[in-house]
Amino acid sequence: MRANRSITVSLPEDMAELVEKKIASGEFADESEVVAEGLRYLADHDAEIEQWLRNEVVPTLRAYDPSKALPIEEVRRRIEAHMDARDRENRFPE
């Protein structure tokens, strides 16, 4: 069993009420359990983000080849052409 360490935290009123509701519902025995569960969830979430960054974002950035990118002027021209075509379609529906 892990040793516990006591700390004091201040919570906004709405969060303190949520902690109290969780205990009153019987979902948790005390404040420590509520906070510990929230921190476990946060740690899991952080780990998922780290994994996503490592497995998807970093490889994508490494594979990026700036020489294959379009100049910003070409991007703007294509967007404007697309928007003009949409405007014409909306003005003169078939």
**pLDDT score, position 45:** 98
Burial class (CB within 10 angstroms; exposed 0-12, middle 13-18, buried 19+) of 35:
middle
**pLDDT score, position 88:** 87
Q: What is the pTM of this model?
A: 0.63
Residue pair 56/47 in contact by the 8 Å Cβ criterion: no
Q: What is the mean pLDDT of each run of 10 residues along the chain (94 residues)?
A: 89 98 98 97 98 97 90 96 91 68
Q: At 12, give phi and psi (nearest 5°).
A: -60, 155
Structural tokens at position 49:
């983000």
**pLDDT score, position 81:** 96
- DSSP label of 67: G
Lookup result for tokens 């906070």: 35
